[in-house]
Amino acid sequence: MTLKIGVIGTGAIGREHIRRITNNLSGGKIVAVTDVNSEAAKAAVEQFQLDAEVYPDDKTLIASENVDAILVTSWGPAHQQSVMAGIEAGKYVFCEKPLATTAEGCMEIVQAEVKHGRRLVQVGFMRRYDSGYQQLKEAIDNRFIGEPLMIRCAHRNPEVNDSYTTDMAITDTLIHEIDVLHWLVNDDYKSVQVAYPKKTRHASSHLRDPQVVTLETQGGILINAEIFVNCKYGYDIQCEVIGEEGIVKLPEVASLQYRKNGQLGTHILMDWKDRFLDAYDRELQDFMDSIRTTGEPQGPTAWDGYIAAVTADACVKAQDSGQHEAVELGEKPELYRGTVNRGVQV
Amino acid sequence: MTLKIGVIGTGAIGREHIRRITNNLSGGKIVAVTDVNSEAAKAAVEQFQLDAEVYPDDKTLIASENVDAILVTSWGPAHQQSVMAGIEAGKYVFCEKPLATTAEGCMEIVQAEVKHGRRLVQVGFMRRYDSGYQQLKEAIDNRFIGEPLMIRCAHRNPEVNDSYTTDMAITDTLIHEIDVLHWLVNDDYKSVQVAYPKKTRHASSHLRDPQVVTLETQGGILINAEIFVNCKYGYDIQCEVIGEEGIVKLPEVASLQYRKNGQLGTHILMDWKDRFLDAYDRELQDFMDSIRTTGEPQGPTAWDGYIAAVTADACVKAQDSGQHEAVELGEKPELYRGTVNRGVQV
Amino acid sequence: MTLKIGVIGTGAIGREHIRRITNNLSGGKIVAVTDVNSEAAKAAVEQFQLDAEVYPDDKTLIASENVDAILVTSWGPAHQQSVMAGIEAGKYVFCEKPLATTAEGCMEIVQAEVKHGRRLVQVGFMRRYDSGYQQLKEAIDNRFIGEPLMIRCAHRNPEVNDSYTTDMAITDTLIHEIDVLHWLVNDDYKSVQVAYPKKTRHASSHLRDPQVVTLETQGGILINAEIFVNCKYGYDIQCEVIGEEGIVKLPEVASLQYRKNGQLGTHILMDWKDRFLDAYDRELQDFMDSIRTTGEPQGPTAWDGYIAAVTADACVKAQDSGQHEAVELGEKPELYRGTVNRGVQV
Amino acid sequence: MTLKIGVIGTGAIGREHIRRITNNLSGGKIVAVTDVNSEAAKAAVEQFQLDAEVYPDDKTLIASENVDAILVTSWGPAHQQSVMAGIEAGKYVFCEKPLATTAEGCMEIVQAEVKHGRRLVQVGFMRRYDSGYQQLKEAIDNRFIGEPLMIRCAHRNPEVNDSYTTDMAITDTLIHEIDVLHWLVNDDYKSVQVAYPKKTRHASSHLRDPQVVTLETQGGILINAEIFVNCKYGYDIQCEVIGEEGIVKLPEVASLQYRKNGQLGTHILMDWKDRFLDAYDRELQDFMDSIRTTGEPQGPTAWDGYIAAVTADACVKAQDSGQHEAVELGEKPELYRGTVNRGVQV
């Protein structure tokens, strides 16, 4: 059984996912595309020699009987409308982050899905599918380090351009840590705080960089998360979980070891696109496989998208206030209990 | 365009490749299977819910108009016949090692392919598709370490069963190093020698273990290859290339770092099956992609299969003689020049 | 020229220093000892076959014409009196931490030394003499990582006994980071804050463990310091400095690498006494060498002892308040400017 | 009790040892010096402000009643005469390598010492005192890796000058491995073989570089030793012991870890003088301590010096013959049994 997929938004990430599904993965087929720029949609069909129809807009694409599932890869502000329409039509939805640009928007999606009664939506938080994070998760779940007490992590980019603003450190960058960390420790956030170390001379005048976010969970785990988007030296994702019996740490990206010019070293990635390639493959493969085998996607849920939005809001508030800000989620709907927190087979 | 594939031999590795092509990769479809045990062939069809016909033998499968390419995953002694029949029928052939059980058999295949005039055959030496080896290859080709002078490598298994014999250290184990190392340095072997260190108490009475094979290339590169198949501690593949300007070394398998019980460590794989999973995926994906895009497979050639056979013969001879034994290949046919030594896009 | 040394306090650390000076180092000689328990003092003389006189108390020892320098290794509350007497008598003083048990006490010593007009006192903060910290210092001073922006460090012990209290995490444990970190970045502390992660089950009921202290410097450097004294897995000192151009990190303690039982690892020290052995040797050797060559000790000053006391007080206050607490030092006396921040030749 | 030491040869290494004993170590005093260049001897006295007499030659220095022990740091061809005279006079002797320039010369020394009836001589093979090798030794002796089966090691220098000849790769470079490896595994050499990989373009025209020496022990352990004295990238000493239950490897020299410019790395030493600084200190301290506490030096013996000479001769022969060459030691005198193979307290 092949999942027939319609793609809404054929920009860079949309085309990447089309390439994946068409050339690398199995079980899915792109049968429909649309884009606000219809030429772009046509170009994508041509580029990948798709046997796919070009639709004028998301509504008509979603309405098509030929479409089983939609991939929402348009720009952020357009996500909510497509996801809502997808749920209404009973179609599966894979939506790139953000699920919606506001917590309220995410909650509307949650409520629509709850009303539908079964899971349809998966949010594109791919880190849960990274083998390093999956090893961390497994170690924690197996109690290899006992109860987790603290997490130290860092999200570093070599540089960002001038349009990157202080709040984007939360909404575009930390957002991945926000999702993956609560999944990692099976806990919810309680409060957040932001501090600003000395600013790097490489940051643009309007940008606070680096930043340090402290998140505390309901269970008391203290998370120290550094965001440093002009670190110059490389794209580097660090995560270390300190437990009662020991510590586990994300592996460095495997890279050949060299001895040259008085240095013993390995290479660090410079481009974020190279870091989670396997995870992108796996999240989409899991989306397709889970629908085939269980009838529901099993990856990050609409509720996870809502958690990310609420937590990011609290962090942005804390950027300004300098104070602890509470993260208030409300009660988790029945639909998202028990089923949750599954990554995928390693 | 989907490559229609017939599988000859539905044992463990045959079924693994069927699973890969069906569930993980794109561009190929299993349309035919056969096995000396026809029940096994039928069971494979059922297990993977294939839309594939079961043939009584390799000849009828190869003759089928529906089959574009064959996957030879029968037991070793049966390979040559299937490959020869495939070439005669002008079908693409992916053959697991060994290409044939003798150097003469490999040469017959080479000659048949040369006569055919275009490449049809790829041998299942998957290490060239491992990202670690590809990084080594790239570093060497880019002259990152200048001219390579020496290689040190090790092939270690935690244990083998009693049926494993001294010569299998060459024909089953070292065979992978034999293939990948000459590819790595773009050179041919000139002579080999075997030495026996102190024997481990964990080896069965008839088995010399460990062994150390020294291979010298035409260009003078000296290769020291340890084979240790009862090393107990893990499945471990090491390779270090020492050049005029520096050294490069295969990365350790990425594994989370832990601190626990007075140890700072990572896990070593115990099962060889976990080591080259990605490489297996990539070799088959490249086989299918190359046929689609260039009309010929671009991976290890029949000539590479022949090199492996001739070199292994010299090593086995050296096991007995204790002397340097020459590796004599004869002239490389035009068909295999220039085209060669390509791995695949990382 | 041999420095004639009198030891005040022949407990464990006193005897360790006697052993060092007598058996490992050159340029010094123990000529006098005293202890509140005079039998202990006599036993030390015997144990190391010293040619040394036993004095009834610190005053008489300090008054002895035969004594050039004193080593204050009595219990903490007795330090201040001995140091003050030493300064009054114009003797060199090597005082184990704390210089005095209160910031006021430290300030009195500072004022006495300032009045004396030359440096006499060195405080036993040995980390500055550790080759790892010295490499960090050199990298920072050479601008290898540009301007330092953040520091992440951890001080972990496998376990502590029941008498260890929450404030001792500051006064006995973090005290070493407090000293070494401001030296490392040539900066002064501005404020501190303490947070409590989830408590480990291995801590006694009255102890908050782990703790996370945030220190901000005058220059804006943000320091995140974890104290975890029941971490079980080992004695582990971590320090990482994040700068504008890169990051430097304390080397792991050199330990042989093993592959065994599916693990690739090294050993972590379990006993803190093994961690800074070389640094203890070097601090005392530098004390003796500096006096010989420059007439003044060049290691951590009385002012550094005062900084440690004031900063520790602020941290202890912050443990209770949960708030940012200011670190207020007052003006640094002329005596301690310029000369400062020297470790020792690596 | 202070050991009164006379130094024969005040060249670079002689002065280094004088500095050590005078400024870094305890228990010894330089009371006499001599050099073929008497001005050099006087200059050394002045440089270190020694309270030492300058003697016209080794004989008169050795004859002095004031001298307990001699340090032989003259040029190699002069060693034997001084050592023999020292033994005759019943003085302790610390002799830099080589003990004598020929195996016969070493044997004469052995016989003289045996005749004397007690150990007087220690040879300056400092690697046994390196903490890395001592950890290896301890792991082997504790059977952490079971029975050792193979050793892989490398001795690499960034470069050598034009006067360095092919045989010096054995007599000046490998000589350290020759000593330390048989000590490490408590075994004797049986045969050696030399192979020449492709030559580096950085070697002078007359020099074979790199070289690979294979040594086999009486117990069957196979040692693969690479010598590469123009490796460019650094001074690098590698040693890995492969045993029945696992592998242990010399730690890399501790150096801070950095992340910069797309690299994750540490620094490799460029100068051999920095590599074994601690080991030089320890070997001399042990020489002095052992004499004080046991009446005999406990480090590498005259017999060890003889083993090194005989083995080096076999290697040089093998460089020319390309064949296995036997290492024939004759019977080990009673004096060197049992007492042997002790390193020193770590």
**Tokens found for residue C247:** 């990051």
Residues B74 and B8: their CA atoms lie apart, in Å, by 6
Q: What is the pLDDT of residue A154?
A: 98
Nearest chain D residue (CA) to B222:
D197
What is the 8-class DSSP label of residue A172? I
Nearest chain B residue (CA) to A288:
B23
Mean pLDDT, chain C, whole residue set: 95
Q: What is the pLDDT of residue A146?
A: 97
CA–CA min distance A265, chain D (Å): 4
What is the 8-class DSSP label of residue A253? P
Q: Which of residues 18-37 of A touch B (CB under 8 A)?
A: 22-27
Give buried/exposed letters for D251-287 (b at 16+ CB in 10 A, else e). Answer: bbbbbbbbbbebbbbbbbbbebeebbeebbbbbbbbb
- How much of chain D, in percent, has pLDDT values that exceed 70? 97
What is the 8-class DSSP label of residue A170? I
Residues D95 and D105: their CA atoms lie apart, in Å, by 14
CATH of B3-127+278-301+331-336, one of 3.40.50.2300, 3.30.420.10, 3.40.640.10, 3.40.50.720: 3.40.50.720
Work out the pLDDT band at A9, boundaries 50, 70, 90: very high
**Does residue D197 have a pLDDT over 90?**
yes
Contacts with D292 (C-beta within 8 Å, 6 or more apart), sequence order: D1, D3, D27
Q: Which of residues 112-131 of D touch C (CB under 8 A)?
A: 131
| Mutation target among C239, C244, C250, C256 for the D interface, most CBs of D within 10 A | C256
Cross-chain Cβ contact D197/B246 below 8 Å: no
**Does residue D196 have a pLDDT over 80?**
yes
User: pLDDT tens, A216-274?
Assistant: 999 999 999 999 999 999 999 999 999 999 999 999 999 999 999 999 999 999 999 89
Residues B132 and B239: their CA atoms lie apart, in Å, by 10
Number of Cβ pairs < 8 A linking chain B and chain D: 89
Q: What is the pLDDT of residue B100?
A: 97
Q: What is the pLDDT of residue B340?
A: 44
Residues C284 and C124: their CA atoms lie apart, in Å, by 9
Neighbouring CB atoms inside 10 A of C297's CB total 23
Residues C57 and C34: their CA atoms lie apart, in Å, by 6
CA–CA min distance A127, chain D (Å): 22
Work out the pLDDT band at D26, boundaries 50, 70, 90: confident
Q: What is the pLDDT of residue A344?
A: 37
**Does residue A320 have a pLDDT over 70?**
yes
Q: What is the pLDDT of residue A26?
A: 86
Residues A58 and A86: their CA atoms lie apart, in Å, by 9
User: pLDDT tens, D211-233?
Assistant: 999 999 999 999 999 999 999 99
Residues of chain B with pLDDT under 50: 340-346
- Residue corresponding to tokens 């080259």: B276
**Does residue A339 have a pLDDT over 70?**
no
As a whole number, mean pLDDT of residues A73-102 equals 97
Total residues found in chain C within this entry: 346
| Surface-to-core class of residue C139, CB atoms within 10 Å of its CB (0-12 exposed, 13-18 middle, 19+ buried) | buried
The CATH code of the domain at D3-127+278-307+331-336 is 3.40.50.720
What is the 8-class DSSP label of residue D171? I
B53 strand-pairing partners: B32
Q: What is the pLDDT of residue B1?
A: 72
Q: Is D219 on the interface with B (CB under 8 A)?
A: yes
Cross-chain Cβ contact A265/D260 below 8 Å: no
Chains in touch with B (≥3 Cβ pairs < 8 A): A, C, D
Contacts of A147 in chain C (CB under 8 A): 198, 200-201
Strands, E, within chain A: which ranges?
3-8, 28-34, 53-54, 69-72, 92-95, 121-123, 148-156, 189-195, 211-217, 222-228, 236-243, 246-249, 257-260, 263-267, 325-326
The DSSP secondary structure of B290-309, one letter per residue, reads HHHHHSS--SS-HHHHHHHH
In the CATH scheme, what architecture does the domain A131-271+308-315 have?
Answer: 2-Layer Sandwich (3.30)
Angle between helices B12-19 and B38-47 in degrees, nearest 10: 30
Work out the pLDDT band at D1, boundaries 50, 70, 90: confident
Contacts of C212 in chain A (CB under 8 A): 150, 222, 224
The DSSP secondary structure of B182-202, one letter per residue, reads HHHHT--EEEEEEE--SPPTT
The CATH code of the domain at D131-270 is 3.30.360.10
Q: At B240, phi and psi to the nearest 5?
A: -135, 130
A156 strand-pairing partners: A228, A236
| The domain over range B135-274 is classified in CATH as 1.10.8.870 | no
**Does residue D253 have a pLDDT over 60?**
yes
**Does residue D41 have a pLDDT over 80?**
yes
**Does residue C339 have a pLDDT over 60?**
no
Q: Is A144 on the interface with B (CB under 8 A)?
A: yes
Nearest chain D residue (CA) to C263:
D246
In the CATH scheme, what architecture does the domain C132-271+308-318 have?
Answer: 2-Layer Sandwich (3.30)
- Domain limits, chain D: 3-127+278-307+331-336, 131-270
Work out the pLDDT band at C345, boundaries 50, 70, 90: very low
**Does residue C341 have a pLDDT over 80?**
no
**Does residue C343 have a pLDDT over 80?**
no
Q: Is D149 on the interface with B (CB under 8 A)?
A: yes
Are the C-beta atoms of residues A326 and A188 closer than 8 Å to each other? Answer: no
**Tokens found for residue D231:** 């490796």
**Does residue D210 have a pLDDT over 50?**
yes
Nearest to B249 among A131, A136, A256 (CB): A256
Residue D73: strand, helix, or coil: coil
| Mutation target among C244, C263, C264, C268 for the A interface, most CBs of A within 10 A | C244
**Tokens found for residue D92:** 């302790």
Work out the pLDDT band at A1, boundaries 50, 70, 90: confident
Work out the pLDDT band at C23, boundaries 50, 70, 90: confident
CA–CA min distance A149, chain C (Å): 5
User: pLDDT tens, D79-126?
Assistant: 999 999 999 999 999 999 999 999 999 999 999 999 999 999 999 999
Q: What is the pLDDT of residue D340?
A: 44
Residue C177: strand, helix, or coil: helix
Residue C113: strand, helix, or coil: helix
Contacts of C145 in chain D (CB under 8 A): 258, 260
As a whole number, mean pLDDT of residues A34-40 equals 96
Contacts with D324 (C-beta within 8 Å, 6 or more apart), sequence order: D191, D192, D193, D318
Angle between helices D175-185 and D302-321 in degrees, nearest 10: 120
Q: Closest Cα partner for A169 from A203, A120, A129?
A: A203
The rounded Cα B80 to chain-centroid distance in angstroms is: 16
**Tokens found for residue A342:** 């599954």
Q: Peptide bond before C98: cis, by omega within 30 degrees of 0?
A: yes
Are the C-beta atoms of residues D133 and D163 closer than 8 Å to each other? Answer: no
Are the C-beta atoms of residues A215 and A223 closer than 8 Å to each other? Answer: yes
Q: Closest Cα partner for B130 from B283, B263, B12, B258?
A: B283
Nearest to A198 among C149, C197, C200 (CB): C149
Residues D293 and A315: their CA atoms lie apart, in Å, by 67
**Does residue C344 have a pLDDT over 60?**
no
Q: Is B210 on the interface with D (CB under 8 A)?
A: yes
Q: What is the pLDDT of residue B24?
A: 85
Q: Is C202 on the interface with A (CB under 8 A)?
A: yes
Nearest chain D residue (CA) to A263:
D267
Nearest to A246 among B250, B251, B258 (CB): B258
Nearest chain B residue (CA) to C232:
B261
As a whole number, mean pLDDT of residues C184-210 equals 98
- How much of chain A, in percent, has pLDDT values that exceed 90? 95
B223 strand-pairing partners: B151, B215
Fold of C3-117: Rossmann fold (3.40.50)
Residues A54 and D290: their CA atoms lie apart, in Å, by 89
CA angle C301-C304-C309, nearest 5°?
135
Residues C286 and C282: their CA atoms lie apart, in Å, by 6
Q: In what order do the strands lie in the sheet with D28-34?
A: D53-54, D28-34, D3-8, D69-72, D92-95, D121-123
Residues B104 and B91: their CA atoms lie apart, in Å, by 22
Distances (CA, A) of D43 to C291, C314, D54: 25, 56, 10
Give buried/exposed letters for D223-238 (b at 16+ CB in 10 A, else e). Answer: bbbbbbbbbbbbbbbb
Are the C-beta atoms of residues D238 and D204 closer than 8 Å to each other? Answer: no
Contacts of C270 in chain B (CB under 8 A): 262
